[in-house]
Structure 1
Amino acid sequence: MDATAINGSGPARSAASITLEDVGKTYPDGTVAVGDFSLEVHAGELTVLIGPSGCGKSTILRMINRLIEPTHGRIVIDGQDILKRNPVELRRHIGYVIQNVGLFPHQNIRTNVGTVPRLLGWDKKRINERADELLELVGLDPARFAKRYPHELSGGQRQRIGVARALAADPLVLLMDEPFSAVDPIARGRLQEEFLRLQATVRKTIVLVTHDIDEAVRLGDRIAVLAEGGRLLQYAPPAELLSKPDSTAVGDFVGADRGIRRLAVTPLRQAMTPPTAIMAGRPTVDAEGTLYDALAAMLASDAAEVVVVEDGKTVGVVTRTSVFEVPEAEATV
């Protein structure tokens, strides 16, 4: 890939940290959208901003790429204060994915994906090669899709194109504002799964806004729970957030069923014990799965335990009792 630093120079790499220091936005009528908000987003991680409507999460996202100018505070990406940068130039080095994608209807898919590289002055051959590379990366065959137009694609396919376009110039930072909420639940689940696969490949620094706690838990390396006025209530990995909410407000937001959600982000290896001599006939689950996968397999087979397999070999066993005995403090991803 052709990694580009946020300042347009420096050694090639794929991600950069983001630091927000006492950032706020107050509108002329006195409305405080975001108070004094501070957050450290680690390079290569996916941070989720979540909270009720009106808590300022989308405002924070847009201040990072200066679609909204902060009233005060400091935003640093890749060691540089972005408020001292030309905002148009800055945005060309930050990927941005929105809910309704925003593809240009009069341009074919290859041209849409190549938008930012074209603005950066890449030659046509390089743009087309990059567009086709990204179409393959998001699971769309360039031979079939490159010359199609947005109206010829499904909602899920258009959303994939939006992600490909955001990655076209290989930005260090990717901002996503409820990217999967406009598609049906089945397509959304598939898109989330494909996005996790994609992130494992490209390892960008991503800030994602959502109102869906299940999506936040599934996708996020860390989750920032916000309250009205952009107040940060808690910032933690999913398992920690679910097992140890800092306050009643956070506990209420993540839900009374947070114990079940915690199983989905806890590796089953934490409850695994060595295999016994007789394992035949037991349901199996992959070693890279979670406690949720193990419990689901037990319930589906009315079994008290599951066999853990890795590369076709039995490596352990997880019992129903051990699933619920994993200490909350150890439930980490």
Structure 2
Amino acid sequence: MDVTPVGTGDAGHSAASITLDGIRKRYPDGTEAVRELSLEVKAGELVVLIGPSGCGKSTVLRMVNRLIEPTGGRILLGDEDITRVDPVRLRRRIGYVIQNVGLFPHQTVETNVGTVPRLLGWSKEQIRRRTGELLELVGLDPAQFGRRYPHELSGGQRQRVGVARALAADPVVLLMDEPFSAVDPIVRTRLQEEFLRLQAEVRKTIVLVTHDLDEAVRLGDRIALLSQGGHLEQYDRPAVLLGAPASPFVREFVGADRGIRRLAVTPVGRDVLDPPVDPAADLPAVPLGGSAYDALAAMLTSGAEAVVVTADDRPVGTLTRARVLELGQR
């Protein structure tokens, strides 16, 4: 992971919306990486950009912090057109995280996390306090990890330090380019869980690029699916993208198993339940509001045709396998 300078050193920055208004990127050789793209990311929302290789998703991300200059169109951070402001000043308001960590190898973890606040002239006490807060926030004990060097950390721990560094000066926007792709699948799943917990606490505006549809479905409040030239094929909540593909391109991209993926983002509500069954039936139990995918997994593991759905440890209804399969086909 790596990070550009962010923030100003004042605590309490709020998240800001991002509006892409007809942005374009054409290179001198005539290549059109992004022909014209418009979409809005609400403040505090996590939006995932996904699509096939070469569709322009990373180019879009880098245009937001102007590591790549757009050829045309407007990019608004809140109400401000950032194509008209100083790029260095802009990047002090935006955290940037990439997949290969990029920590300074000869600096300790706490020194790495405090890089941006130091550049912004924070006091040593402010930096020490902020570094400790952030290491705890990403699940690393400052007393245990603060004095370690990057080579003494696992890949997942280095990723966490990278996120902490990106958040150090409280940016209004966080951009993430394939942040979890360099670690193995088990660690990736744990990092995704930790990141969802972290986002629930900090509620930053986040734009995340990934090539992994399962990751997009798991993390995104909304998913923007792009095709060649940065064309926006569909921009929707994960359940809508999977359940109602807007075009043949989207249908092919999400795949034939989109129904199973959709179950992972479909909560079990009271409206799909049958009355509770006799406790002697000894069915597996799942919580109300849990995913339909977990309910189906419990049925398949136990060989049962239904699960008991509970709220506050009390049964409120029964969910059948047939009803779960209906949910996946909606």
Class of the TM-score when normalised by the shorter of the 2 chains = over 0.9
Structure 1 distance, partners of 2:132, 2:10, is 26
Structure 2 distance, partners of 1:265, 1:325, is 14
Tell me the C-alpha RMSD between the 2 structures.
1.9
- What secondary structure does 2:99 align onto? coil
Structure 1 distance, partners of 2:83, 2:195, is 30
**Residues 271-310 of structure 1: matches in 2 within 5 Å?**
271-278=272-279, 281-310=282-311
Tell me which residue corresponds to 1:200: 200
Is 2:104 aligned against 1:109?
no
* Contact 2:259-2:329 at 8 Å conserved across structures: no
Instruction: Provide, for residues 137-176 of structure 1, a one-character-per-residue CA deviation record: whole Å limited to 9, x for no partner.
Output: 1111111000111111011100011111111111111000
Instruction: Provide, for residues 90-124 of structure 1, a one-character-per-residue CA deviation record: whole Å limited to 9, x for no partner.
Output: 11211111010111111111111111112222111
* Contact 2:11-2:170 at 8 Å conserved across structures: no
Structure 1 distance, partners of 2:105, 2:275, is 57
* Contact 1:283-1:306 at 8 Å conserved across structures: yes
* Contact 2:13-2:170 at 8 Å conserved across structures: no
Shift of 1:192: 0.7
* Contact 2:263-2:291 at 8 Å conserved across structures: yes
Tell me which residue corresponds to 2:57: 57
Structure 1's unaligned 5+ residue stretches are: 1-5
Letter of the 1:101 counterpart: V
Shift of 1:280: 5.3
Tell me which residue corresponds to 1:311: 312
Distance 1:298 1:7, change over 3 A: closer
* Contact 1:65-1:87 at 8 Å conserved across structures: yes
- What secondary structure does 1:226 align onto? strand
Shift of 1:305: 1.0
Shift of 1:315: 2.8
Tell me which residue corresponds to 1:29: 29
**Residues 1-333 of structure 1: matches in 2 within 5 Å?**
12-269=12-269, 271-278=272-279, 281-326=282-327
Structure 2 distance, partners of 1:265, 1:306, is 18
Shift of 1:321: 1.6
Letter of the 1:296 counterpart: A
Letter of the 2:263 counterpart: L
Distance 1:38 1:97, change over 3 A: same
Distance 1:151 1:8, change over 3 A: closer
Letter of the 1:321 counterpart: A
Instruction: Provide, for residues 46-74 of structure 1, a one-character-per-residue CA deviation record: whole Å limited to 9, x for no partner.
Output: 10000011100000000000111101110
Structure 1 distance, partners of 2:275, 2:130, is 47
Structure 2 distance, partners of 1:123, 1:274, is 62
* Contact 2:260-2:328 at 8 Å conserved across structures: no
- What secondary structure does 1:235 align onto? strand
Structure 2 distance, partners of 1:292, 1:86, is 47
* Contact 1:224-1:235 at 8 Å conserved across structures: yes
Shift of 1:77: 0.5
Letter of the 2:16 counterpart: A
Structure 1 distance, partners of 2:131, 2:10, is 24
Letter of the 2:116 counterpart: V
Structure 2 distance, partners of 1:144, 1:235, is 42
Letter of the 2:163 counterpart: V
Larger displacement relative to structure 2 (118-127 or 259-268):
118-127
* Contact 1:16-1:42 at 8 Å conserved across structures: yes
Structure 1 distance, partners of 2:116, 2:63, is 20
Tell me which residue corresponds to 2:3: none
- What secondary structure does 1:116 align onto? helix
Shift of 1:312: 2.5
Q: Give TM-score scaled by structure 1 length.
A: 0.93
Structure 1 distance, partners of 2:313, 2:210, is 37
